[in-house]
A and B are shown apart, each in its own frame.
Chain A
Amino acid sequence: MGTFGEYIKSALSSIRNNKGRSFLTMLGIIIGISAVLVVLIIGDGMKATVNSEIDSMGASSISVTLDDTKTDKRFTRSQLKAIEENIDGIYGISPSFTVWGNANSKRGEGFELFITGGSESSETASGIKMLHGRYYNSSDVEDGKQVLVVSQSFARNIFGYEEVVGETLDVTAYDITKEFMIVGIREDTPMDIAFSSYGEDIILTADGPYTSLAEAYGFDMDNMFNSFTIYLDSENRNEVLGKARSVVENVTGLRGENAVKISSGSGFDETTNSILDIITSVVAIIAAISLLVGGIGVMNIMTVSVTERTREIGIRKSLGARTSSILTQFLAEASILTFTGGIIGIIFGITVSFIICKIIDFSFSVNPVLVAAVVAISTSIGLFFGIYPAKRAANLDPIEALRNE
C-alpha cells in the first residue's frame, strides 16, 4: 500500500506539473459527465412533474383480477360488498360488465349501443362529468333499477338535444328487450371519441347499474365477475395498493394461492412513465457519446504524455521500476484525471440541472445512487482508456527509452 501511495503521489505531481493540459483533458470528461447527469436529472424532474400532474387530477384506479389459470372462482355480490367495506380510503369498487345492444327510442331509430355496467363508484372514475340529471346511485345498484346515464353525443344523435332526462328507450340484447329510463347525461368520454371514428355506424355509449343489466339479460351475478376496479383518490394509492391483496384474498379464501393480480391503475401513468423513461434513456445515450469522446481524449493525452516522458520512464526502469509499477503510475494518472473530471462534472451538472429545473418549473431532486454510479463510471473510463497508453509506457525498453531525448 505504501508503494501504491507513492504511485498515486507521482501521478498527482505529474498532473500538477501539467495543469493546463490536465484541465483540457478533464474538460471532455467534465462535459460528458455533466451532460449525462443533466439529462438524467431533468428526465427525473420531468417524470416527477408529470406524475404530480396526473396525481393532482385526483381520481385514480386500481384493477384487481383473479388469475383464471390459478382459480376458477368468481367474485360474488356479497364478496364484492365485503371487499368494498374492508378497504379504507377508497371511493368504492366496481365490477365491470359490458352489454352490446340495440336500442330504440320513441324518437330515434335503432342504433348500436355499448353499455358499461358498474357500481355507483364508477362516477368517480376520471373523465366522468355530469351535464344534466344525476349518475346512477347506490340505491339504483342495490335495487337493480333499470336506469341509464347516456353520453352527450347519445342525446344529440338520438334525441337531437341534450336535456333528455326522463326519456325512456328499449334496449335489445341477447334477444331480450328491456325498457330503461335515462336519469342523467354525461360528457363524452375518450371511448365515445374512439367510437365516433369507428366507421359508418354510429356507436353510442351509456352507463348503468351492473345489477340491473345482469338481471335484465339473465346473468348470474354471483358467478360472472373475475375482476373489479377500485376507485380512489391518488393520495391514498400506495396505502390501498398495500392492503388490497390481503383483503381480497381473505374475503375470497384464496390466501397463499397467488391467484390475485393487482395492476396499479388505469395504466395511464405507467404508460406515461415508460414513455418518459424511453425518452430520457435515448437522450442519455446521446449524451454518453460525449463521455466516450472525452474518454478517447484522455487516451490521446496519455499517449502523448507517455511519448514525452519516455526518458523519465527509462530512468525509472533503470532504477528498478517493474512493468507493473509503471503501469500503475500511468493508470493512476488517467483515473485521477477522469475521477476529478467526474467530480467537477457532477458539481457542474447538478448546478446546471438545478437552474434548468427552476427555469422550466420541473421538480428537482438528485438521486445519490445516480451520483455514485457516475463517479464509478468516470473513474472506470480513466482505467479503460488509460490501459493502452499505460501498457505502452510499461513495455518500453529501458535502453531505448534512455536514449530518447
Chain B
Amino acid sequence: MKKLVEIKDVCKIYNPGENEVRALNHVSLTIGEGEFVAIIGQSGSGKSTLMNMLGCLDTPTSGKYFLHGQDVSHMTDDEQSDIRNREIGFIFQGFNLIPSLTALENVELPLIYRGVGKKERDRLASAALKSVGLAKRMTHKPNEMSGGQQQRVAIARAIAQAPPILLADEPTGNLDTASTKEIITIIKRLYHEGRTVIIITHDPGIASQAKRIITISDGMIKSDIINPEYKDEI
C-alpha cells in the first residue's frame, strides 16, 4: 500500500510559554492510499487539531507532515490553499454550504478555484450531485433542503474534483438517524470506489463503521487497531 499521509513526531502547541496547551503531543501516523480510517476522541482530545493538520488548514509547531511524499508542514497560505484544493475533500459537521448559492454553484466552488472552465465545471458538478442522488435538487439553495440533503451536497462538493483524500469531520453530528445512515452509506460507497476516507468523530457508533480505528486522547494516539467488527458491505 502506498503511503498517502505520513505524520512524523508532530506537536502542536498553543500559547507557548507557561500556559501552553499541547494539542498534539509527538503524534506519528501513517495512512495508506485507499484506507478507511476513523479517528475517535473526546472533545479536547486533539482530534480537531489533527483534522486541521491533516486538512492542511494548520501547520505543526514541530514535526513533519508528508502528503503524497511532499512535505507540507511549512507552506505559505496560498500553497496550503492549492494543496487543499487539489488533495482534500472536506465534509464538515455543519455542512458549510454558502447559503446564497444553489446546490450546483456550491459544488462548483472548488472547481472555480482550480480554474476549471464553465462547461467542464457544470459537467463535473452535476455528475457529483447525481452520484449522491440529488439530480433533482441542483438549483435549490441550502435552506430549501433537509440536513441530510445539505450534507449530500457537501459530499458532492468534496468529490466533484476527485481529490485523493476525503476528510469528514463529524459528518453526521447534525443529522437524524435516517440521514446518518444515508450519509454513512454514501461514505462507504466512496471508499469502495477507491477513495481514502478519514472520519473524525467522538461517536463510537460512527467510528465502528470504519476499517481502521485510531483513538486519540490528550493529544496522543492511544490505540490504532483494525476494526474487528468491520463489515465490508454497503
B81 partner, pick from A3, A311, A321, A402, beta carbons under 8 A: A321
Give the contact stretch, choosing among A248-256, A322-330, A331-339: A322-330
Binds A, one of B50-58, B63-71, B189-197, B201-209: B50-58
* B123 interface contact, C-beta 8 A: no
How long is the Cα–Cα vector from A2 to B55 in the complex, in angstroms? 27
Q: A52 in the interface, Cβ–Cβ < 8 Å?
A: no
Q: How far is the CA of A13 from the CA of B102 in the complex (A)?
A: 11
For B157, what are the chain A residues with a Cβ–Cβ distance below 8 Å? 319
Instruction: Decide yes or no whether A187 CB sits under 8 A from chain B.
Output: no
Is the Cβ of A320 less than 8 Å from the Cβ of B100? Answer: no
Question: Shortest CB–CB separation between residue B174 and chain A, in angstroms?
Answer: 13
30 pairs across A/B with beta carbons < 8 Å?
Answer: A2-B118, A3-B115, A6-B112, A13-B100, A13-B101, A314-B96, A315-B96, A315-B97, A316-B109, A317-B81, A318-B55, A318-B57, A318-B84, A318-B96, A319-B84, A319-B85, A319-B110, A319-B113, A320-B82, A320-B85, A320-B86, A320-B110, A320-B113, A320-B114, A322-B77, A322-B113, A323-B81, A399-B58, A402-B57, A402-B92
Q: Mark A1-23, 1 if CB is under 8 A from B, else 0.
A: 01100100000011001000000
List the 7 closest A-B pairs by CB distance, nearest first. Answer: A320-B85, A320-B113, A319-B110, A322-B78, A322-B81, A17-B100, A315-B96
> Given known contacts A319-B157, A320-B110, what 13 new A-B pairs fall within 8 Å (CB)?
A3-B112, A318-B84, A319-B85, A319-B90, A319-B110, A320-B86, A320-B113, A322-B77, A322-B81, A323-B78, A398-B57, A399-B52, A402-B96
Shortest Cβ distance from residue B155 to the other chain A in the assembled complex, whole angstroms: 13
List residues of chain B with CB within 8 A of the CB of A322. 77-78, 81-82, 113
How many Å lie between the Cα of A312 and that of B112 in the bound state? 15
Chain A residue at minimum C-beta to C-beta distance from B52: A399
Docked-complex contact B82 and A14, CB < 8 angstroms: no
With known contacts A6-B112, A321-B113, A402-B92, A315–B98 Cβ distance under 8 A: yes
A312 and B117 form a contact (CB under 8 A): no
| Chain A positions 363 through 405: 1 when the CB is less than 8 Å from some CB of chain B, otherwise 0 | 0000000000000000000000000000000000011001000
Residues of B contacting A: mostly: helix
> Which A residues lie within 8 Å of B112 (CB)?
3, 6
What CA separation (Å) do A17 and B96 show in the bound complex?
18
Interface 0/1 of B39-59, CB less than 8 Å to A: 000000000000010010110
* CB within 8 Å of B: which A248-275 residues: none
Interface size range on B against A: 20 to 34
**In the complex, what's the smallest C-beta–C-beta distance from B179 to chain A, in angstroms?**
21
A319 to B81, CA, bound (A): 7
Residues of B close to A13: CB separation below 8 A: 100-101
- A6: B residues at CB distance < 8 A: 112
CA distance A17 to B141 in the complex (A): 13
- Determine how close the nearest CB of chain B comes to the CB of A318; give it in whole angstroms: 6
Q: Is the CB of B77 within 8 A of A323?
A: yes
Q: Which residues of B sit under 8 angstroms from A2, Cβ to Cβ? A: 115, 117-118
Interface residues of B in 30-45 (CB under 8 A from A): none
Q: B100 contacts which of A14, A316, A319, A399 (Cβ < 8 Å)?
A: A14
B89 — nearest CB in chain A belongs to which residue? Answer: A319
Query: What residue in chain B is nearest A2 (Cβ atoms)?
Result: B117
- Residues on B with C-beta less than 8 A from A324 are 78
Instruction: Evaluate contact between B81 and A320: CB separation under 8 angstroms.
Output: yes
A311 touches B52 (CB 8 A): no
CB neighbours (8 Å) of A316 from chain B are 98, 109, 113
B109 and chain A: residue at smallest CB distance: A319
**A320 vs B101: C-alpha distance when bound (angstroms):** 17
A266 to chain B: closest CB distance in Å?
66
Measured between beta carbons, the chain B residues less than 8 angstroms from A14 are 100
Closest to A324 in B: B78
Nearest CB of chain A from residue B105's CB, rounded to whole Å: 8
How distant is the Cα of A13 from the Cα of B99 in the complex, in angstroms?
12
- B84, B85, B98: residue with the most chain A Cβ atoms closer than 10 Å: B98
Min Cβ gap B231→A in Å is 32
